[in-house]
Structure 1
Amino acid sequence: MNKQGRTSQTEAGMEHRDLFPIREVSRLTGVNAVTLRAWERRYGLVQPTRTESGHRLYSQADIDDIRRILGWLERGVAVSKVGSILARDQAVMQNALAPDAAKGWQAQLRDAVQRFDGAGLDRLFDQVFAAITQDQVFADVFMPVWHDLAAGQAVFGQASEWLFLDQFLRGRVFTRLQLSQQRRGRHVLLAPLPGQCLELELLVNGLLLASDEVRVTPLMPGQPLEELALISERLGPDAVVLFSNRSLTLDMGKRLSRLAVGLHCPLLLAGEAAELAQESLAGSLVACLGAEAGLMRRRLRQYLAGQLDT
């Protein structure tokens, strides 16, 4: 063997020395290999690295996650729900925003909205984006205030405040989403389930789903579900994602099944609807991405890479 070949083997060994094959992980955790593969492909719970020949290699962090999964299962949590719990725990640890900081941003936001101060909103939006992650911007600052104003529209003045904030956010989020369209990579269409989503919710989730590898094109509320097959045929996306934060009715579940058969690409479900329907849709043609931003992006990438089953 020449020197270059020996060096490549040595580097590969060093790269994988802290990783464990599936049989060793099974021995360490007590979870058999079949179950580990199912957790990965069906629920996206663990993401081992792969060798060039396709063999799975698990890190110590993966093993820790497997033990956490076992802990939740022992508490009676369904395996379909564990992914969202782990994702939210991870988001809290990695992107924890101090409650006082979040309240401070929200107080400034409410003040600008009450004064109908568009220039102030512009400055605040840019400041918040520069200070914290995109996920935090919406989860911890802007969307909580938006939801509060939407729920309190019976109070005099709050309907106007909500409309003011809603219009501002739709404009800024749409602009950012348009910029992300310039990225190359896999193309995803994002559509709302009929009557179950407002435009801002759809735009925000489109922005959260987008990444360097995935560009997202939103289809606005009012888009007929039955015409998605036509749009998909003409635009040729890599996947169609439906978004809703409401539970699926029996009739809607049947409509999704019919739609999946007629599409020329995979059909995925995102939002709280995906969390609630994951067990009922298991084994169907509809894959569930979850509701937490990080989990949705990860499962979408896995699915587009062929590493996540419906």
Structure 2
Amino acid sequence: MDNPNDDSAQYLISTVSKRSGVKSDLVRAWERRYQAVTPIRTAGGHRVYTAQDIARLMLLNEATRHGHSISQIARLSLEELRRLVKSEQTATVLTSAPISATGRRCLAEEYIEKCYSSVVAFDANTLEAHFEHAIVELGTDAFIEHLLTPLLTRIGERWRSGELRPVHEHMASSIIRSLAYILRNNNPVAANAPRMVVSTPIGQLHELGALLAAIIAELKGWQVTYLGANLPAEEIAAAVCFTNAVAVTLSISFNNDDLVIPREIRRLKKLLGARAALIVGGRAAADYKAVLDEAGVLDVQNYDHFRAILDGLAAGHSAQISDGLASVE
């Protein structure tokens, strides 16, 4: 790989992210996992990058958009990356129309079978490779909706029937978490974008549903603060205050057959008041419909419904900003 210190100018990661178009967390992930760039550290411990690093990241970003796996191209030289990107740009001009929605569904079904076979074989490396390729071929939204969700449902069903062990589900979930940096929106978020906090209520330890909700919201242009799993209502409400969020999204994956979830929903709704909307979804959300209706929660039915809710809240947020500007004038 090229020497990252060929030029003397040094840039902090915030500047590198803006100039290369690659989000800071993705820069760190490519650096940590694939040694795509090798920054040096200042006396104060800050990473600093060169103009050559920025050029590499721009080319890597473009190449991955064309379907190349970062693990296979991360160590290419600058010249090799330039040739690769140039060849892809030429090929794009000659390609036919993008894959149709029906084609995506068929492709997703093929990937489901391949991924499930890898889970059964407990082959983590092959499963991760299938996921990486599917994300590129399907796009993030279709990957989540048409591949990942049905796959996780199948794994859960086979686990409960005894065909798979809990460790199979844990292995698949671990890989999905590790790939979150690929799934997340890599485009800059508008400064006035609506803000959201995403978590799971106390006692809900499975966070994949919440993580996927956070990714979908980011793709819709929201600025998301993802808190992970198992938080009490008071902490979630505190995060809303710290971030000025206009919405909270909770994922409920399991019915614990106790009074904790109803209590936490009521408590959080009271703490939020009119400050932020409360959105609840997940595999077990329907089991708590009575308390969700009672509290006036926005109950997510499916991914399209969640996106529609986000659009409605974003429109209301934009209207509030416009009204505020008009009053100032």
The alignment's TM-score, normalised by the length of structure 2, stands at 0.53
Hey, what does 1:215 align to over in structure 2? Answer: 223
Match of 1:106 among 91, 102, 112: 112
Q: Is the 8 A contact 1:188 1:239 kept in 2?
A: yes
- Which residue number corresponds to residue 8 of structure 1? none
| 1:261 corresponds to which of 270, 285, 300 | 270
Change (3 A) 1:175 1:195: farther
Contact 2:197 2:239 in 1 (8 A): no
For residue 204 of structure 1, report the CA deviation from its aligned partner: 1.4
Deviations 1:42-92 (A, max 9, x none): xxxxxxxxxxxxxxxxxxxxxxxxxxxxxxxxxxxxxxxxxxxxxxxxxxx
Whole-angstrom distance in 1 between the partners of 2:294 and 2:152: 36
1:161 equivalenced with 2:171 (yes/no): no
Residue-pair matches, total: 212
Matched, 1:242 2:250: yes
Question: Following TM superposition, by how much is the alpha carbon of 1:109 offset from its aligned partner in structure 2, in angstroms?
Answer: 0.8
Structural mapping, 1:78-97, within 5 Å: 95-96=101-102
| 1:120 matched residue in structure 2 | 126
**What secondary structure sits across from 2:184 in the alignment?**
helix
Matches of 1:172 and 1:100, distance apart in 2:
23
- Structure 2 counterpart of 1:204, which letter? L
Distance (Å, rounded) in 1 between the aligned partners of 2:272 and 2:109: 44
Report deviation, 1:266.
Answer: 1.0
C-alpha separation in 2, matches of 1:245 and 1:157 = 19
Describe the superposition over 1:139-192 as per-residue Cα deviations: whole angstroms up to 9, x where unpaired.
Answer: 332233333333434747633322221110111125533746x52322100121
- In structure 1, the gaps of 5 or more residues are 1-93
**Alignment partner of 1:173 out of 168, 180, 184:** 180
Matching residue's letter, 1:173: A
Question: C-alpha distance in 1, partners of 2:125/2:292?
Answer: 46
Q: Distance in 1 between matches of 2:208 and 2:237?
A: 24
Structure 2 distance, partners of 1:183, 1:98, is 27
- For the residue of structure 1 that corresponds to 2:279, the secondary structure is strand
**Match of residue 142, structure 1, among 138, 144, 148:** 148
Q: In 1, are the aligned partners of 2:118 and 2:126 still within 8 Å (CA)? A: yes
Equivalent residue of 2:179, what SS? helix
For 1:164, the aligned partner's letter is M
Task: Check whether the contact 1:191–1:202 (CA below 8 A) recurs between aligned residues.
Answer: yes
Contact 1:289 1:299 (8 Å CA) reproduced: no
- Structure 2 counterpart SS, 1:152: helix
- Residue number in structure 2 paired with 1:225: 233
Matched residue SS, 1:220: coil
CA contact (8 A) 1:209 1:293 kept: no
Q: Is the 8 A contact 2:124 2:172 kept in 1?
A: no
Contact kept in structure 1, 2:199 and 2:207, CA below 8 Å: no
Secondary structure, aligned partner of 2:224: strand
**1:190–1:218: 8 Å Cα contact kept in structure 2?**
yes
Distance across 1 between alignment mates of 2:285 and 2:311: 16
Q: How do 1:278-289 and structure 2 match up within 5 A?
A: 286-289=296-299
Query: 8 Å contact 2:185–2:215 — kept in the other structure?
Result: no
The 1-side partners of 2:314 and 2:143 are apart by 27
Partner of 2:197: 189
The match for 1:302 among 312, 315, 320 is: 312
CA apart distance, 1:224: 1.6
Residue 221 (structure 1) shift: 1.4
Note the C-alpha offset of 1:280: 6.3
Structure 1 residue 275 displacement after superposition: 6.0
| Partners of 1:274 and 1:288 within 8 A in 2 | no
2:303: which partner in 1? 293
Measured in 2, the distance between the counterparts of 1:279 and 1:304 equals 27
The question of whether the paired residues in 2 share the 8 Å contact of 1:149 and 1:159 is answered with no
Q: Partners in 1 of 2:142 and 2:186 — Cα distance? A: 20
Would the aligned equivalents of 1:166 and 1:200 in 2 still touch at CA under 8 Å? yes
TM-score (norm 1): 0.56
Q: What CA distance in whole angstroms lies between the structure 2 residues aligned with 1:119 and 1:295?
A: 34
How far, CA to CA, are the matches of 1:274 and 1:306 in structure 2? 25
Instruction: Report the counterpart of residue 52 of structure 1 in structure 2.
Output: none
Residue identity over aligned pairs, in percent, reads: 17
